[in-house]
Amino acid sequence: MERPGERGGLLFIDLDNFKPINDTLGHEAGDAALVAVAGVLREMTRPVDLAARLGGDEFALWLEDADAAATGRRAAALCAAALSLSPWPPGRQGPQLSFSIGGAVRAAGAPQGPDALVAAADAAMYAVKRGGRGHWRLAPPPRAEMAG
C-alpha cells in the first residue's frame, strides 16, 4: 500500500521580474504582487496538494500522486496564469511578471529521497532562469542503482 507523499511532483516556482516592482513601485506593491501569486497558487491547487512560500519570491508546490505528465501540465498552466499578473498601475509600464518553474517527480518506491527531489527541482528551476525565464522544465528521472 502506498503512503501519502510517496509519489508526486514537486515544483519550485520563482517569480521573475519581482525586484523592479519593489524598487520602482515600493514594497506595498511588491507585497500585493506576492498576494496575487498566492491567489494563483490557491486557485490551481487541489485539496491534497501543498503550496508554500519558501521566502522572497520563491514558492514550492507539492502535487500529491502526480506523474510527470500531470506535473508538466500544472507547470505549463502556472506559467500561463502568471501572465495575468499585472502589478503596474495604469499609465506605468514595467517588466511582465512570469514564473520560472523547475520540477521533479517522485514515483512510488523511487530511489531518491526528499533531499534529492528538492535538489533536482531546484536545479531544473535554475536551468530555466539561465535559459531565459518564463517557462518550465522537469528534471530527468533518477537512474536506479545498477546491481553489481
What residues are labeled active site? 57
Closest CA to 110 of 76, 71, 138, 140: 140
CB neighbourhood size of 81 (10 A): 16
19 and 85 Cβ atoms separated by less than 8 Å: no
**Residue in the block written with cell 506576492:** 34
CA 95/CA 93 separation, integer angstroms = 7
